Amino acid sequence: MSQEATLANLEKAVELALGLGKPRRFKQSVEVIVALRDVDLKSPQARIRETVFLPHPPGKEASVCVVAEGDMELQAREAGVEVLNRQALQSLSGNKREVKKLARRCYWVLVRADLMGLAGRILGPALGPRGRAPVPVPPNANIKELIAKYRGAVWVRIRNQPQVMARIGAEDMSPRELAENAAAVLQAVESRLGKAKISKVYVKKTMGPPVQVSGFAI
């Protein structure tokens, strides 16, 4: 199936999904679910944890936190995100409760490369169970640009089931935008596993029923 056909099928499914379910008092997210076949969850091949930068901002921006010092710390604070320098990070050592709170607040944790060892030791145990990990950043990187980029990114990962679930946006986005975001997730899965491993694809609102995307059923 061509990319154009895939995108058209995704858009049709999104349009249907947006119209299903009762209206809610909150803005619902839209998710894509990729069901897989013939995947051994214990094999290294199945240990997917990819960063996907969506072509369209997903409505509610992903929260970004930064671990840095010096100029990068100052630039990150100017960008308005939560920032921890070395001293603040060290103060969390052994405080599991506060580390878990931070892990809940921060979807992405961007870490200046020379602080990765410390960040991994202190934050890793709380981020790991959530399927996330600190992201190393070169000391000379433009942190403001990276923050803006990661606000529109999602984790694509396989956990305990042979499937991938990812938030692709919100219900007030256009079907085309949501379809293009879903296509970016599909491309990431295909690049790691191949099209043959994709069994079925669904899209759904947070509280709505799943709608199957045509062209992927066995």
Domain with 201 in it: what CATH number? Answer: 3.30.190.20
Closest-CA residue to 194 (of 11, 71, 83, 36): 36
Q: Which of 150, 177, 201 is the last residue of a domain?
A: 150
Q: Which of 97, 122, 150 is the last residue of a domain?
A: 150
Domain that holds residue 21: 3-59+152-212
pTM of the model: 0.82
- pLDDT for the residue numbered 201: 94
- pLDDT for the residue numbered 1: 60
Q: Which of 150, 173, 192 is the last residue of a domain?
A: 150
- pLDDT for the residue numbered 61: 75
- pLDDT for the residue numbered 60: 74
Question: CA of 170: how far to CAs of 32, 109, 176, 205, in Å?
Answer: 12, 23, 12, 8
Q: Which residue positions in the chain have pLDDT lower than 70?
A: 1-2, 217-218
